[in-house]
Amino acid sequence: MKKIRYGMVVDTRRCVGCKACVFACKSENKVPEGFCRDWIVEEVRGFFPDLKAEIRSERCNHCSKAPCVSNCPTGASHFAEGGVVLVNHNKCTGCKACMAACPYDARYVHPEGYIDKCTFCLHRVKEGKDPACVSVCPTKTLHFGDLNDPDSEVSRLLKTREWKVNAPETGCEPNVYFLV
Amino acid sequence: MKRREFLQISGGTLAGAAFASGFTTKWWGLDGDPIPNPGTDGTIVPSFCELCFWKCGIHAHVKDGKVTKIVGNPDHPLSRGKLCPRGTGGIGLLYDPDRLKKPLLRKEVGGKQRFEEVSWDEALDFIADKMKTIKKKYGPESLALFSHGFGGSWMKKVVKAYGSQNIGAPSWAQCKGPRDVGFELTFGDFLGSPEPIDMRNAKCITLIGAHLGENMHNTQVQDFAEAIGNGADIIVVDPRFSTAAGKAKHWLPIKPGTDIALLLAWMHVLIKEGLYDQEYIKKYATGLDKLKKYLEDKTPEWAFTQTGIEPEKIVASARTLAAARPRSIVHPGRHVTWYGNDTQRSRAIAMLNALLGSWGRIGGYYFKDKIKLAPFPGSMYKFPKSTKPIADRKKGAIYPFGGESLAHGFRDATFPGYADYDIKAWIVYGTNLMQCLPDPEKTKEAIKHLDLLVAIDVLPAEITGYADVVLPECTYLERHDDLWSAAYTEPFVAMRQPAVKPMYDSKPGWWIAKELAKRLGYEGLFPWKDPEEYLRGRAEASHLSWKELKSKGVIAKKKREAQTIDEGLEPSFDTPTGKIELFSKQLQESGLDPIPVHRPPDEPPPGYFRLLYGRYPVHTFGRTTNNRFLSEIFPENEVWLNARMAKELGLQSGDRVMVENQDGRKSGPIRVKVTQRIRPDCVYMVHGFGHKDKRLRFARGRGASDSDLISKSAIDPIIGSTGMNVNFVRLEVAS
């Protein structure tokens, strides 16, 4: 059996940018006031009345070649089950090397002194549940699963729909995909 | 294996979990890197939401007497396990430090008025005494109840027992009333909430000013996204490039106030090109010939001169509409009190749906179903009958069609001599009249004529500042309410129950009403000890399992076999002709337009813009703007200004301006959002900001209040509702 590689597929056509994902994450993960682990980007191009819009729900890309992991001096940033990038709070000194390395600005300093970010809700995933953002999403914009499993919903979506990733030029091999 | 078991046991409490993970990683080093678990799972209490009036099913997670998180109830047909951001944000309401904590009584000390914290006994005795005096002096009808929200049902009973029928909500004449009447005049059936629209199966969805996605009625947005996912065409008619417009095949940036012209031109194209559902119209509708004749000159070229939408775009979008029929929904909208012609515009929307054959069809409007709820066994209370008419309009004013009372009319009837008799007392439940009725200055004036103003709410608001007595209700997460039976595709009965005990000295609405009824001597109005006895009694009398209802929060029936014509349901139309009325004789007989007529709107004076307002997905009017959890993402509103106009005015995004309307009413300061996403002749702001009440420590002074700028309203001649998009504003750099 192939190794699990967790990934997320974000359907930008369905997303209305309501931010249910942001709030569900904040309450599920007790994200402190003033911070969030996922966020909405709304891009509108053109001039009145010829306009185009794209809305993306973004978060840590859990890159396969994660520069935050390779740049972490203490080993706090690491690959956990399914390739999910986690930060071990006990090992983290809050030096911010990972924040400087991350091309997606996905990390923040938790008021308790360690670096924090999206965990793909691995504590839920281990119980067979979806991450909180996926679970709450009223538009079913967010899909989560094993990218190495050809029959998973995420794999099927990537096979049948056009997609892109954010900042592919960095070579980090991000695991969050955007259907366009 | 043994170590794993040990973890599970010690992980029972938060402190234990922290200890265990530290222990394993640092001391033994066996665990490597732990998977962080925030531990927000708790005991689940199923209930339903009250952050907006859609009322989704929720699961409140409770741990150590606190609600840790709120998620969607998978068994509930309206949430299907999902929530909008506000639903999750219920915790921000529950733990809002600015909540009303104790009853407040206005007292005069040393010539100065102030609120004093009093006991419930003192507050309720005061109200009951006043109510008795007012009844003696002016009659029971002089009391009006403004009530918005599901918890108001208890106080309604008290007011009815008192002898007044003057009960209303701004959700009618300041919101969806015209739409329900427009559809009823056409199809003989009203829409209600949730609207019976099968968007999920639609192939084309047309939104006239409705901004789904910014307006987050959960199930509707779910269905809207599902339709998009299925490749449905979206048509959006809106002066603003809304979120939905970003999904649209056709975005028609219409000149505000000219929608009827566009709707008529669309109907013109459907008829001229023979694209309408001829078989359906022949079978179910009447008045086609008169409509055809009327529409002859309502060409796309004519509509272009009114709406600013190019004729080619009108024709192309009409063909998109028709290509998908009957699975082509022209959405009825919800907040539709815009220009005073709103019932006619809603009727035009209904007629367009009729031509598309979408009423009573899969992917269109379906015929809703409802579970009948029995009353509580043995409740035989005899409500007194009033001989007086409802005092919600000017003496002699006739609005020939309607449904509910006019909330602004009760306010106006507070001015002596305005209505058939004077209103002398208000009970205001869960609605900030200063932000939901047009012309708040007039509301303040009206209050001066009152003998009693009682406000019942969870949070302070501008209206509570004018009350004689303020009663702190607990939130929906701390109380029972009545059962809710909803007409829906899968009809259901939902139950609200407390997740935690009421905080502070707040009390549930049922308790407040019951205690007041006791003091007023209404024995037998609430013939039960506690709400569970009442709810159980009603549920069991309705043949619903109490156990299931309590443990799941909802009992839903399966969708009936046929709820559309396509599935074999024979439709009936409760109109005078028994048919869909494209020509309305009953309107004609009342001296009103039998077919909607487009009348050009007033133009803004030079230098002024038409003020438009709407929603943002994380907020419900002014009710959530103090919610620190939700407001973190959107703490203040902005005024949207077309980029070209901004250049002319020398304004940039982020500049702070005061907004002033045609009558010199001002609000702000508010930041400017310079954007390509709006027409140059109007500005837009999200409703519900610009709070002034000091006790709203977070929301106060953030952004501007559109309500303060709505001094003018256009009265709909059919139902008497207030069109509020008729104000013009200019922007002035804030000093």
> Do both B310 and B412 map to the same domain?
no
- Gap between the Cα atoms of B155 and B704, Å rounded: 32
Instruction: Find tokens 């001989």 and name the residue.
Output: B387
> Do both B242 and B387 map to the same domain?
no
Q: Assign B108 to helix, strand or coil.
A: strand
Q: Which of A48, A88, A122 sits opposite B676 (nearest CB)?
A: A48
- Gap between the Cα atoms of B554 and B45, Å rounded: 12
The verdict on A112 touching B (C-beta cutoff 8 Å) is no
The verdict on B570 touching A (C-beta cutoff 8 Å) is no
> Do both B447 and B358 map to the same domain?
no
- Report CB contact under 8 Å: B679, A34: no
Mean pLDDT across the stretch B78-89? Answer: 98
Q: Which of B40, B71, B677 sits opposite A30 (nearest CB)?
A: B40
> Do both B409 and B280 map to the same domain?
no
The verdict on A3 touching B (C-beta cutoff 8 Å) is no
- The model's confidence at residue B379, banded by pLDDT at 50, 70 and 90, is confident
The verdict on B183 touching A (C-beta cutoff 8 Å) is no
The verdict on A169 touching B (C-beta cutoff 8 Å) is no
Q: Report chain B's mean pLDDT, rounded to a whole number.
A: 95
Instruction: Find tokens 């033994």 and name the residue.
Output: B28
Tell me what pLDDT residue B130 has.
98
Residue-number span of the structural domain to which A23 is assigned: 6-179
- The model's confidence at residue B172, banded by pLDDT at 50, 70 and 90, is very high
Mean pLDDT across the stretch B669-685? Answer: 98
- Residue at which a domain ends, from B344, B365, B386: B365
- Report CB contact under 8 Å: B629, A26: yes
The one-character DSSP state at B111 is T
Q: Largest Cα–Cα distance of chain A, in whole Å?
A: 53
- Gap between the Cα atoms of A90 and A96, Å rounded: 15
Q: Which of A16, A80, A136 sits opposite B225 (nearest CB)?
A: A16
- Gap between the Cα atoms of B63 and B40, Å rounded: 8
| pLDDT tens-place string over residues A55-84 | 999 999 999 999 999 999 999 999 999 999
User: Is 70 exceeded by the pLDDT of residue B471?
Assistant: yes
A85: enclosing H helix or E strand: strand A85-87
Tell me how close the Cα of B615 comes to any Cα of chain A, in angstroms: 11
Tell me what pLDDT residue B735 has.
83
The verdict on B682 touching A (C-beta cutoff 8 Å) is no
Question: Of B579, B218, B201, which is closest to residue B361 (Cα–Cα)?
Answer: B201
Residue A1 within any structural domain of the chain: no
Tell me what pLDDT residue A2 has.
74
Any idea what the CATH number is for the domain that residue B205 is in? Answer: 3.40.228.10
Mutate to test the interface with A, among B23, B31, B35 (most CBs of A within 10 A): B35
User: Is 60 exceeded by the pLDDT of residue B30?
Assistant: no
User: Is 80 exceeded by the pLDDT of residue B236?
Assistant: yes
> Do both B288 and B322 map to the same domain?
yes
Q: Assign B700 to helix, strand or coil.
A: strand
Any idea what the CATH number is for the domain that residue A12 is in? Answer: 3.30.70.20
- Gap between the Cα atoms of B351 and B341, Å rounded: 15
The verdict on B22 touching A (C-beta cutoff 8 Å) is yes
Burial class (CB in 10 A: 0-12, 13-18, 19+), B574: exposed
Question: Of B242, B240, B266, which is closest to residue B253 (Cα–Cα)?
Answer: B240
- Report CB contact under 8 Å: B225, A44: no
- The model's confidence at residue B15, banded by pLDDT at 50, 70 and 90, is very low
- Gap between the Cα atoms of B673 and A44, Å rounded: 14
Residue B82 within any structural domain of the chain: no
Half-sphere exposure for B145 (CA within 13 Å, toward CB): 25
Question: Of B672, B659, B673, B664, which is closest to residue B705 (Cα–Cα)?
Answer: B659
Any idea what the CATH number is for the domain that residue B704 is in? Answer: 2.40.40.20
Give the CA-trace dihedral at B580, B586, B588, B589, to 10 degrees: 160
- Report CB contact under 8 Å: B213, A86: no
**Chain centroid to CA A112:** 22
Tell me what pLDDT residue A1 has.
59
- Residue at which a domain ends, from B324, B341, B365: B365
Tell me what pLDDT residue A150 has.
97
Any idea what the CATH number is for the domain that residue B440 is in? Answer: 3.40.50.740
Mean pLDDT across the stretch B643-651? Answer: 98
| pLDDT tens-place string over residues A149-175 | 999 999 999 999 999 999 999 999 999
Instruction: Find tokens 């890159």 and name the residue.
Output: A63
Instruction: Find tokens 């955007």 and name the residue.
Output: A178
> Do both B352 and B386 map to the same domain?
no
Total domain count for chain A?
1
- Report CB contact under 8 Å: A47, B40: no
Distances (CA, A) of B535 to B506, B510, B546: 21, 12, 8
The one-character DSSP state at B710 is -
Tell me how close the Cα of B99 comes to any Cα of chain A, in angstroms: 19
- Gap between the Cα atoms of A8 and A146, Å rounded: 9
> Do both B329 and B462 map to the same domain?
no
Q: Assign B556 to helix, strand or coil.
A: strand
Report whether the peptide linkage leading into residue B375 is cis, meaning its omega lies within 30 degrees of zero: no
Mean pLDDT across the stretch B3-17? Answer: 35
Residue B78 within any structural domain of the chain: no
Question: Taking CB atoms and an 8 Å cut-off, how many pairs form between chains A and B?
Answer: 159
Residue B96 within any structural domain of the chain: no
Return the residue of A nearest to B309 by Cα: A49
Residue B75 within any structural domain of the chain: no
The verdict on A22 touching B (C-beta cutoff 8 Å) is yes
- Gap between the Cα atoms of B100 and B96, Å rounded: 9
Tell me what pLDDT residue B27 has.
40
> Do both B351 and B205 map to the same domain?
yes
User: Is 70 exceeded by the pLDDT of residue B335?
Assistant: yes
Mean pLDDT across the stretch B6-32? Answer: 41
What does the buried/exposed string (b/e) look like for B174-203 if buried means 16 or more CB atoms within 10 Å of the residue's CB?
Answer: bbbbbbbbbbbbbbbbbbbbbbbbbbbbbb
Neighbours of B685 (CB within 10 A): 27
Tell me how close the Cα of B78 comes to any Cα of chain A, in angstroms: 11
Q: Report chain A's mean pLDDT, rounded to a whole number.
A: 97
Residue-number span of the structural domain to which B2 is assigned: 1-39
- Gap between the Cα atoms of A159 and A3, Å rounded: 19
Residue B705 within any structural domain of the chain: yes
> Do both B354 and B380 map to the same domain?
no
- Residue at which a domain ends, from B343, B365, B387: B365
The verdict on B214 touching A (C-beta cutoff 8 Å) is yes
Pairing of strands B143-147, B167-168: parallel
B chain contacts of residue A119, beta-carbon cutoff 8 Å: 35-36
> Do both B361 and B390 map to the same domain?
no
- Gap between the Cα atoms of B407 and B397, Å rounded: 15
| pLDDT tens-place string over residues B282-309 | 999 999 999 999 999 999 999 999 999 9
- Report CB contact under 8 Å: B26, A90: yes
Question: Of B44, B53, B51, which is closest to residue B75 (Cα–Cα)?
Answer: B44
> Do both B355 and B383 map to the same domain?
no
* B-proximal residues of A, 46-105, CB under 8 Å: 46-49, 51-55, 78, 80-81, 86, 88-91
- Gap between the Cα atoms of B615 and B686, Å rounded: 5
Residue A20 within any structural domain of the chain: yes
Question: Of A49, A61, A80, A104, which is closest to residue B241 (Cα–Cα)?
Answer: A49
Tell me what pLDDT residue B5 has.
39
Tell me what pLDDT residue B7 has.
35
Burial class (CB in 10 A: 0-12, 13-18, 19+), B607: exposed
> Do both B309 and B403 map to the same domain?
no
- Gap between the Cα atoms of B706 and B713, Å rounded: 13
Residue A172 within any structural domain of the chain: yes
**Chain centroid to CA A14:** 17
Tell me what pLDDT residue B231 has.
97
Tell me how close the Cα of B607 comes to any Cα of chain A, in angstroms: 20
Residue B151 within any structural domain of the chain: yes
Tell me how close the Cα of B264 comes to any Cα of chain A, in angstroms: 23
Tell me how close the Cα of B679 comes to any Cα of chain A, in angstroms: 8
The one-character DSSP state at B602 is P
| pLDDT tens-place string over residues A4-50 | 999 999 999 999 999 999 999 999 999 999 999 999 999 999 999 99
Q: Assign B267 to helix, strand or coil.
A: helix
Q: What is the ipTM of this complex?
A: 0.97
- Report CB contact under 8 Å: B38, A29: yes
Total domain count for chain B?
4
A chain contacts of residue B213, beta-carbon cutoff 8 Å: 16-18
- Report CB contact under 8 Å: B677, A51: yes
How much helix, strand and coil, in percent to the nearest 5, is found in chain A?
Answer: 25, 25, 50
User: Is 90 exceeded by the pLDDT of residue B23?
Assistant: no
- Report CB contact under 8 Å: B88, A24: yes
Distances (CA, A) of B597 to A145, B346, B356: 54, 12, 20
**Chain centroid to CA B619:** 12
What is the SS3 assignment for B213-239?
CCECCHHHHHHHHHHHHCCCEEEEECC
